[in-house]
Amino acid sequence: MKAILEDKFGRRFQYLRLSVTDVCNFRCSYCLPDGYQCDSDRDFLSQAEIKTIAAAFAGLGTRKIRLTGGEPSLRKDLPEIIGLCANTPGIEQVALTTNGFKLPQMIGTWVEAGLNAINVSIDSLDPRHFSMITGHDKLNTILAGVDKALSAGIRVKINSVMLRPYSGTMLDQALAWLRHTPVSLRLIELMQTGDNQTFFKHNHVSGLPVKERLLEQGWIPVIRETTAGPAQEFAHPDFAGRIGLIMPYSNGFCDSCNRLRVSATGNLHLCLFAEKGLPLREYLQEADVGVLQTQLKALIGHKEASHWLDKGFTGATTHLAMLGG
């Protein structure tokens, strides 16, 4: 029987979110409003270390790897990293989360390397609002990249953080867009982190009213795949696209957790809001997959039942660019 990663609550982990950098070139108001601050040496995981991580997790039942940042496309060797993951026995899906600024020129290269799914961050479909949120007037460029990704035949999801001044407009515009665009839009509740308490207080919007509206308008819940993320997804026969809601403050959100995170500097994070990262790098130096697997199975026992966000606990997550959300 194949070994699997399973915690003391019976949750199995088939999904790895692997950060390859914490550097980001956007200045999103909810994450890095002052831009990226390089406050220490950035010795990011090498391709050899990433290869060992992918092999170890795959051997323990992981089937999906999502490459995250910061902004992963800032790594010039991203195509090689995609290829390493895609060619790892047992890995069935390699996905990428990106702000999309390089999407139009790079999507072909990424798909050729083995990418088969992509999440693109678009917090507003209004160019003015998009620029206000991100600090960049790049919406049309990113939407052109989304079209190219769809033409390449890969699965496209759109990540949109709900913010009080913009969320109502975003939903109305998104519904019109999704009628003819076959993407899955993920509306994500703003999460409190170590450096955004005041911003969170003034801008958090619950996803529950959106869920009620969707159900009233005939949207139907979709059954989650075993490697899917935490979104509650809905489909409608009159729409080409789907809508997903990620509501981390809802009851039971953590019950179906199936993902673990490794930071760009080689720390295992059992939760996005864990108190600290658990160092793996010493087990990567000899490229010994078996030793790393033994350590992973030991560390999984420390995973908590919940992220405790509802109690105001943010753990070691200063901002979301640290681990790619």
pLDDT at 128: 94
Tell me the average pLDDT across 142-164.
96
Tell me what the pLDDT averaged over the chain comes to.
89
Q: Which residues contact 275 (CB under 8 A, 6 or more apart)?
A: 315, 316
Residue 316, Cβ neighbours under 10 Å: how many?
18
Please tell me the chain's helix, strand, coil percentages from 3-state DSSP, rounded to the nearest 5: 35, 20, 50
pLDDT grade for 1, boundaries at 50, 70 and 90: very low
Nearest partner of 225 among 92, 59, 323, judged by Cα: 92
114 has a pLDDT exceeding 60: yes
**CA-CA distance, 27 to 23, in Å (whole number)?**
11
325 has a pLDDT exceeding 50: yes
| Global confidence as pTM | 0.90
Half-sphere exposure of 246 (CA within 13 A, CB side): 20
pLDDT in tens, 137-147: 999 999 999 99
Query: Which segment of 75-89, 152-166, 302-316 scores lowest on mean pLDDT?
Result: 302-316
pLDDT at 120: 98
* 15-174+257-322 under CATH 3.40.50.300, yes or no: no
Query: Which segment of 26-40, 102-116, 165-179, 279-293 scores lowest on mean pLDDT?
Result: 26-40
Nearest partner of 22 among 14, 12, 30, 31, judged by Cα: 31
197 has a pLDDT exceeding 50: yes
Site of tokens 């030991």: 298
DSSP notation for 109-176: HHHHHT--EEEEE-S-SSHHHHHHHHS---HHHHHHHHHHHHHTT-EEEEEEEE-TTTHHHHHHHHHH
pLDDT at 316: 53
